A and B are shown apart, each in its own frame.
Chain A
Amino acid sequence: AQTVTQSQPEMSVQEAETVTLSCTYDTSENNYYLFWYKQPPSRQMILVIRQEAYKQQNATENRFSVNFQKAAKSFSLKISDSQLGDTAMYFCAFMIAYSGAGSYQLTFGKGTKLSVIP
């Protein structure tokens, strides 16, 4: 079974500063996908960024980037130039990358609540 751990229940950052959210995971699989989802107070679940485990290059989406360390099983999210709209719960998630029973499931961490301070 896969597990995802987010060790920071809450974090805060000043507006325009940079913050890094941690995520580690445990799996015996070699091919998988990793995701960061954002949940603002509106309760929507919004995909922020995704990473394929077979790609060594770290994924980037505008102000959001990841530091993917496969050997260490670490997948941290960096938010640059933080904005007030980044205030949200952030979830790290894992999915096995092959078809078969049970392999379509996303396993989520417990989340990190990020507050951006003006």
Chain B
Amino acid sequence: NAGVTQTPKFQVLKTGQSMTLQCAQDMNHEYMSWYRQDPGMGLRLIHYSVGAGITDQGEVPNGYNVSRSTTEDFPLRLLSAAPSQTSVYFCASRRLGRGSSPLHFGNGTRLTVT
């Protein structure tokens, strides 16, 4: 049972480069999300999705795009990387419906933009 798989684990980009962070889950979770974690800031929501074809913005969406073509995958795209996007990125998913279904997290991607 793989859970939530994120790739890559580490990435270094130059300012202006683009890249896609991959996220896949095998738990058939409807909800998927991307967070960024910065020192002293906790985790902040970037984008989320409640199902295939449905996405919405979180607290800090600027500079990021997402799409959800399948239930399993939720990639995060940086179109033109900036040093302010240096962070650790987490993908997380959960079951929707009644109950306090917790978020299941991937192991994170450490991104450095120089």
A contact set with B: CB distance below 8 Å = 4, 9, 33, 35, 42-45, 47, 50, 52, 91, 95, 97, 99, 101-102, 104-106, 108-111
B43 an interface residue at 8 Å Cβ cutoff? yes
Q: Considering the chains assembled together, what is the distance between the CA atoms of A95 and B92 in angstroms?
A: 14
Tell whether, in the assembled complex, residue A108 and residue B43 are in contact, meaning their CB atoms are under 8 Å apart: yes
Inter-chain contacts of A47 with B (CB < 8 A): 102-103
Contacts of B110 in A (CB 8 A): 43
Tell me, rounded to whole Å, the shortest Cβ–Cβ distance linking A61 to chain B: 12
Instruction: Please give the distance in Å from A68's CB to the nearest CB on chain B.
Output: 13
Determine if B58 is an interface residue (Cβ-Cβ < 8 Å).
yes
Residue-wise interface mask of B (39-56) relative to A, using a CB-CB cutoff of 8 A (1 in contact, 0 not): 011111100101000001
Distance of A31 Cα from B53 Cα, bound (Å): 29
Asked if B100 lies at the interface with its beta carbon under 8 angstroms from chain A, I say yes
Contact string, B80-104, partner A, CB cutoff 8 A, digits 1/0?
0000000010101010110010110
Q: How large is the interface on B (under 10, 10 to 19, 20 to 34, 35 or more residues)?
A: 20 to 34
User: Can you list 7 A-B pairs, Cβ within 8 angstroms, ordered by A?
Assistant: A43-B107, A104-B33, A104-B50, A108-B42, A110-B40, A110-B41, A111-B42
The 10 closest A-B pairs by CB, nearest first: A45-B105, A33-B100, A110-B42, A108-B42, A108-B43, A47-B102, A43-B108, A50-B100, A104-B31, A111-B42
Per the bound structure, the CA–CA distance linking A118 and B45 in Å amounts to 36
A35–B42 CA distance with the chains assembled, in angstroms = 14
User: Which residues of chain B come closer than 8 Å to A109, judged between CB atoms?
Assistant: 42
Asked whether A52 lies within 8 Å of B100 as measured between CB atoms, the reply is yes
